Each structure stands twice: as C-alpha cells, then as structure tokens.
Amino acid sequence: MDNFAAIDFETANSERTSVCSVGIVIVRDGKITDTFYSLIQPEPNYYTYWCTRVHGLTAVDTDCAPVFPDVWRQIAARIEGLPLVAHNKAFDESCLKAVFRCYQMDYPDYLFFDTLRAARHRLPHLPNHQLDTVARACGCDMTNHHHALADAEACARIAMQLL
C-alpha cells in the first residue's frame, strides 16, 4: 500500500464513544506526508483508572478539548479517498463507528485494513502481535507507546512494510 491514513484512538473509559485522543498519519506514494493529533472531549466524559493507566490522559487534559465532530472536520479532508489502517482495526473501527452514531453523523463507510492481521500472517514467529512488539520487529521506536500519534505512526510504518 502506497496511499493510506493510519489511525489510532485512545478512549477514556470502556465505552467506544469515549475517544479522548486521535492520531492520524497520512502516507502518500509510500512516504509519510502529514500527521494530525488532537485531544477530544470524550462522551461520556469520565475516565476510568485503567484507561488513564494505559495512556496517561485525564479529564484535566480534555475538559477544554473540542468535541469529536469539530475534530473530525479537521481530519475528513485530509483522509478523503484514502483507506484507513489500524493495528487491531476491530477496536479503532468500532470506536469510529460508535462516535459517528453518538453524534448522529453520517458514516462514510471507510475501508479499513488491519496491521495486526497482517503481522500475524507475515510475522508468525513473534512472541505476540501487540503494536509495540510488531513495531520493534519492523524497526520502529515505541518509546511513546499509547500516545495516539505515536501509535498511528508505528502503524503506518508497519503497514508500509507488511501491507
């Protein structure tokens, strides 16, 4: 794949609608050409201990952040016509669909590809296929794991090698 947008969401709680940050990495002609990151005010707007433990975000970080529709308006033009790629697309795609439903937005039926599935197929020897493990196997630095933009960049670099 030479042209795609890698996407990663972090959530505030167990609700898929609770996206609290998003990272997007645009790849055109096999090169990263654009990135986008934003905090998002989650819906519902509360954080669980476990989610905060994973990504470090709290209500203090997002109380003044824009709501999802305002953030997505900034993203939509950037990704127009591009397939989306995520590591464990089941999670990110379900978050995207849920938050579109939550805000009663028309979902454009994005085409999603999954680097997790590709890694399981192409790198069966790895001890696991979590993003950080696959990223390291592909030569990517994961010092900022669970930051949505860092994870989206790792996903993009994995996709450039495996898809």
pLDDT tens across 123-163, in order? 999 999 999 999 999 999 888 899 999 999 999 999 999 99
Whether residue 85 lies inside any domain: the answer is: yes
Whether residue 92 lies inside any domain: the answer is: yes
Q: How many domains is the chain built from?
A: 1
pTM for the predicted model, two decimal places: 0.96
Report which residue type is found at 23.
G
Close Cβ partners of 65 (under 8 Å, ≥ 6 residues apart): 20, 38, 39, 40, 41
Whether residue 163 lies inside any domain: the answer is: no
Q: State the CATH number of the domain containing residue 38.
A: 3.30.420.10
Domain that holds residue 17: 4-157
How are beta strands 31-39 and 4-11 bridged, if at all? unpaired
Kind and range of the H or E run holding 102: helix 89-102
Q: Which residue has the tokens 């630095």?
A: 141
Give me the residues of the chain with pLDDT under 70, please.
Answer: none
What value, to the nearest 5°, has the Cα angle with vertex 156 and ends 133 and 96? 100
